[in-house]
Structure 1
Amino acid sequence: MNQSLFVYNTLTHQKEEFTPINAPHVGMYVCGPTVYSDAHMGNCRTYISFDLIFRYLTHLGYKVRYVRNITDAGHLESDADEGEDKISKKAKLAQLEPMEIVQKYTVGFHEVMQILNTLPPSIEPTATGHIIEQIEMVKTILEAGYAYEVNGSIYFDVEKYNQAHNYGMLNGRNLDDLLNNTRNLGGQEEKRGKLDFALWIKAKPEHLMKWPSPWSVGFPGWHLECSAMSHKYLGEQFDIHGGGLDLVPTHHTNEIAQNIACCDKVPARYWVHTNMLTVNGQKMSKSLGNSFLPHELFSGNNKILNKGYSPMTVRFFMLQAHYRSTLDFSNEAMEASEKGFKRLMNAITLLDGLKASSTTDVTIAPLSQRCYDALNDDFNSPVLIAELFEATRIINSVHDGKMKIDAANLDELKTLIQNFVFDVLGLKNEQATGDDLPRVLDFIVNLRSEAKTNRDYATSDKIRDGLQHIGIQLKDSKEGTTWSKI
């Protein structure tokens, strides 16, 4: 039973049997958020996907060290080597310290992750907490001859590296194609090659976030941060490196180059990437006016939403698509997911009241095996959910007296539900517990307070009136805002 787990590896473009380097230990690094704004739905989709992977590996008995970083410096506006630091820019606009911005959006990110019932990672390192490790990695790459200094900045020499290694091993592109299709980036006059990227950038006098180094007072390159942190906590080579598909062409390609230049090893054996989230068939973006944030999806406070949806409905919706498939949002899809989730949870509430018979019309073992088969096929959550609806049919049939089940199979059915619905998919029966309501409402009340602080009274009133409409009354006082059920 259970059999082998197969994982799709972006590096080899095929499914491969999962064989940890040092079983039962598994090292998994996932690129975390840059904390200069609210977590968006694409972030949520990625981290729910890796939460599923983390949960399933743990369920199989692996001891998983899950490292997910916080990028709190060095990520420039262009995602390259030009422009302002995203966090510093936000800090200047808000007239705050950069670390106030970092704190605010890190806390917000954690709140959303908790509401969506994702487990915290084993380690959550920050880029600013690992400046020394990054400087040491730059020194090693310089000594290996794959980097050079210009005016206090250090650049990675891609063309020299490619003479000994395959720079495009992850993105599947050869160097000539990459050179022909690369626009000139900032700082180009300092670089030897068009594809060269910064390991360390000399800071301009007005740059807020900077540190001393052997070359200049500056800050690390965005790509270097993840190489240094994964190396520190998971070693020269570990099992799984994950992130969104958009990180493949540059960020993860450059991570691999840095790690090979540093220690002659591809950092991870399996590269796992989640696909994008679209809205009615279009890419989600502010410019198209079709983007929304998690709290807007929970509250329904966005013009493209017909109503709000519970956090577990949102999680269920995301798990109904395979992590490597595009997930297309629509009001119709959300409503269908809401119905499906309620149907599943309604059946589960009947489970404890089922009576065992002396005979049985159903054997649960084959169903349980099919659930494992689904997850062992590259964590195929939609196929698993389809099998769980077969479990729902069995529960309803036994409850209605149309089917009998003996004690052994009833116990196995309860184990199946616990294992796959709650432990692996990470769903919660909101109807049964209501545990999330206070946390969700506190989150919404805080958002309303922020709107009032920003003099966005239209949004503040809309939140208050919307909550009143669904039976939640807000009361403002000098001490703050409290809520109560009407």
Structure 2
Amino acid sequence: MKQSLFVYNTLTRKKEEFTPLNAPHVGMYVCGPTVYSDVHLGNCRTYISFDLIFRYLNHLGYKVRYVRNITDAGHLEDDSDTGEDKISKKAKIAKVEPMEIAQKYTVGFREVLGIFNTLPPSIEPTATGHIIEQIELVKEMIANGYAYEVDGSIYFDVEKYNKNFDYGVLSGRNLEDMLNNTRSLGGQEEKHGKLDFALWIKAKPEHLMKWPSPWGVGFPGWHLECSAMSHKYLGDQFDIHGGGLDLVPTHHTNEIAQNEACFNKTPAKYWVHTNMLTVNGQKMSKSLGNSFLPHELFTGHNAILNKGYSPMTVRFFMLQAHYRSTLDFGNEAMEASEKGFKRLMNAFSLLDGLKASATTEAEITPLRERCYEALNDDFNSPVLIAELFEASRIINSVHDGKMAIDAANLQQLKDLMNDFVTEILGLKNEQASTDELPKVVDFIVNLRNEAKTNRDYATSDKIRDGLQKIGIQLKDAKEGTTWTKI
């Protein structure tokens, strides 16, 4: 039974049949992190969601080029066109080179996503590695009449662009409303219009990260880099552009404007966005004091949850919600996910020991079709997981001798669980995968060492005591910190 994949497209605000521009090849670009701090859970939710999409498209036989950038320059405070570069600011405080900050947090980002068992992208380009491409795009926009120079800085002319295109096509807002609801910011008098945004910014003498350009020494605007890198590796137009929902109003809107101004076409056919995280119904944010980092979720050292949860439990928890729905962290929800994950993995571990009968009471083909139906409906992982619990019920019934299954259906059942649990959902049985434990503990020990180096002894002690509670004892010595299971 051939089924079609349908994807919700933010651009058209409806589900559309997925038809790649150049099948079987699929181009997918996802906006990566700005590497000035530890990756937060909202980022993790986005990248786990796109890992599911990447895995499923590969499973369907598509040849996917997945590009996810690293922003290591050009992202200013408050996502604006003024202020300090986020990475440079952190470097000044730490008295190190900006690239040391970028390297440290890039490594940390990859470590966390590795712990969550996400596959690496096909290409992971950096903003600093594509300055030439960004300058070339700016030249093209100036030549096409959509950008202008003011004292060494280049701005995009939104109102002029909107005469030929629709600046609010992605957000659904019209230009007049945007102009009326946008306040004029100090220090931006040189712009022609309130909505104009920087493509290239003249660097002040104290600015650390800067490059020569036809307009003087400066650095690229945050929005420009994604247009340059997606175009370089995926062409004038590609299949999927993704990111968090918070990127729609400005970053992705400006990306579309830049690409249309250069190439006269929208960069991506399908725009896919993940929703935000909440904690007990409130938006997760530092200002509300309810945000926590992945390692704080693993160890339980946060003010919200009663205990820590394993990486695979957290991945399972995130996949139990549809990527376009709000994901709410809370004690009850996490505990329920932990039980559900263990139930699924316990059934999975029984598969190899099941014995086939001459007859069967379990037909697996309809169940497999329902699993595909779930994922073909905009990657509906919660519905898929519900079907996998039905598969778990069959496994347990066969194991307990309450249901007969013949060899053909047993093999189908094994294939179904391997395909959907392991290959597509990316879940692993943590009890069986003891080789992953050292990676997780070493990661947490490194975080503790950082806390000690920063004289944050309260956090250092919390990590040590928390590990001891879950059966991991640390021993500090001159040579470093070692750990043992107790």
After TM superposition, the score normalised by the length of structure 2 is 0.99
Instruction: Give distance in 1, aligned partners of 2:238 and 2:305.
Output: 42
The question of whether the paired residues in 2 share the 8 Å contact of 1:28 and 1:65 is answered with: yes
Q: Which residue of 1 aligns with 2:445?
A: 445
Q: Which residue of 2 aligns with 1:340?
A: 340
Instruction: Give distance in 2, aligned partners of 1:187 and 1:67.
Output: 35
1:113 matches 2:113: yes
1:24 matches 2:27: no
Q: Which residue of 2 aligns with 1:378?
A: 378
Q: Which residue of 2 aligns with 1:155?
A: 155
Q: Which residue of 2 aligns with 1:167?
A: 167
The question of whether the paired residues in 2 share the 8 Å contact of 1:2 and 1:369 is answered with: no
Q: Which residue of 2 aligns with 1:417?
A: 417
Q: Which residue of 1 aligns with 2:432?
A: 432
Match of 1:371, SS?
A: helix
Match of 1:403, SS?
A: coil
Letter in 2 for 1:28: M
Letter in 2 for 1:128: T
| 1:34-433 correspondence to structure 2 within 5 Å | 34-433=34-433
Instruction: Give distance in 2, aligned partners of 1:304 and 1:163.
Output: 49
Instruction: Give distance in 2, aligned partners of 1:188 and 1:465.
Output: 51
How far 1:187 sits from its partner (Å)? 3.9
Instruction: Give distance in 1, aligned partners of 2:433 and 2:255.
Output: 43
Identity score, percent:
84
Instruction: Give distance in 1, aligned partners of 2:80 and 2:456.
Output: 34
Letter in 1 for 2:417: I
Cα deviation, 1:190-222, whole Å, max 9, x if unaligned, reads: 100000000000011111110000001000000
How far 1:83 sits from its partner (Å)? 1.1
Cα deviation, 1:16-35, whole Å, max 9, x if unaligned, reads: 00000100000000000000
Match of 1:420, SS?
A: helix
Match of 2:340, SS?
A: helix
How far 1:463 sits from its partner (Å)? 1.2
How far 1:2 sits from its partner (Å)? 4.4
Letter in 2 for 1:461: D
How far 1:346 sits from its partner (Å)? 0.5
Aligned in 2, Cα 1:301/1:477: closer, same or farther, shift over 3 Å?
A: same
Match of 1:431, SS?
A: coil
Letter in 2 for 1:418: N
How far 1:276 sits from its partner (Å)? 0.2
Match of 2:431, SS?
A: helix
Instruction: Give distance in 2, aligned partners of 1:164 and 1:132.
Output: 27
How far 1:406 sits from its partner (Å)? 0.2
Instruction: Give distance in 2, aligned partners of 1:185 and 1:412.
Output: 62
How far 1:434 sits from its partner (Å)? 1.7
Match of 1:169, SS?
A: coil
Which 10-residue stretch deviates more, 298-307 or 268-277?
A: 298-307
Letter in 2 for 1:409: N
Cα deviation, 1:28-83, whole Å, max 9, x if unaligned, reads: 00000000000000000000000000000000000000000000000000202011
Instruction: Give distance in 1, aligned partners of 2:171 and 2:260.
Output: 16
The question of whether the paired residues in 2 share the 8 Å contact of 1:313 and 1:341 is answered with: yes
Cα deviation, 1:283-316, whole Å, max 9, x if unaligned, reads: 1111111000000000111122211100000000
Aligned in 2, Cα 1:2/1:388: closer, same or farther, shift over 3 Å?
A: farther
1:457 matches 2:465: no
Instruction: Give distance in 2, aligned partners of 1:185 and 1:58.
Output: 46
Letter in 2 for 1:144: N
Q: Which residue of 2 aligns with 1:4?
A: 4
Instruction: Give distance in 2, aligned partners of 1:467 and 1:243.
Output: 34
Number of residue pairs aligned between Structure 1 and Structure 2: 486
Cα deviation, 1:140-183, whole Å, max 9, x if unaligned, reads: 00000000000000000000000011111111111101100112
Q: Which residue of 1 aligns with 2:467?
A: 467
Cα deviation, 1:393-413, whole Å, max 9, x if unaligned, reads: 000011111100000000000
Match of 2:78, SS?
A: coil
Instruction: Give distance in 2, aligned partners of 1:24 and 1:410.
Output: 31
Instruction: Give distance in 2, aligned partners of 1:423 and 1:40.
Output: 25
How far 1:186 sits from its partner (Å)? 4.8
Segments of 4+ moved more than 6 angstroms: none
Cα deviation, 1:378-404, whole Å, max 9, x if unaligned, reads: 000000000000000000011111100
Letter in 1 for 2:264: D
The question of whether the paired residues in 2 share the 8 Å contact of 1:80 and 1:185 is answered with: no
How far 1:469 sits from its partner (Å)? 2.1
Instruction: Give distance in 2, aligned partners of 1:435 and 1:64.
Output: 29
Instruction: Give distance in 2, aligned partners of 1:249 and 1:218.
Output: 26
Instruction: Give distance in 1, aligned partners of 2:456 and 2:239.
Output: 47
Match of 1:435, SS?
A: helix
Instruction: Give distance in 2, aligned partners of 1:93 and 1:2.
Output: 57
Instruction: Give distance in 2, aligned partners of 1:36 and 1:202.
Output: 22
Instruction: Give distance in 1, aligned partners of 2:186 and 2:348.
Output: 57
Instruction: Give distance in 1, aligned partners of 2:319 and 2:205.
Output: 47
The question of whether the paired residues in 2 share the 8 Å contact of 1:81 and 1:185 is answered with: no
Letter in 2 for 1:245: L
Instruction: Give distance in 2, aligned partners of 1:39 and 1:2.
Output: 39
Instruction: Give distance in 2, aligned partners of 1:110 and 1:309.
Output: 20
Unaligned residue ranges in structure 1 (runs of 5+): none
The question of whether the paired residues in 2 share the 8 Å contact of 1:317 and 1:334 is answered with: yes
Letter in 1 for 2:163: Q
Instruction: Give distance in 2, aligned partners of 1:428 and 1:158.
Output: 48
Instruction: Give distance in 2, aligned partners of 1:402 and 1:445.
Output: 47
How far 1:365 sits from its partner (Å)? 0.2
Instruction: Give distance in 2, aligned partners of 1:249 and 1:435.
Output: 43
After TM superposition, the score normalised by the length of structure 1 is 0.99
Instruction: Give distance in 2, aligned partners of 1:185 and 1:434.
Output: 54
Which 10-residue stretch deviates more, 33-42 or 1-10?
A: 1-10
How far 1:367 sits from its partner (Å)? 0.2
Instruction: Give distance in 1, aligned partners of 2:260 and 2:250.
Output: 15
Instruction: Give distance in 2, aligned partners of 1:187 and 1:143.
Output: 26
The question of whether the paired residues in 2 share the 8 Å contact of 1:81 and 1:187 is answered with: no
Unaligned residue ranges in structure 2 (runs of 5+): none
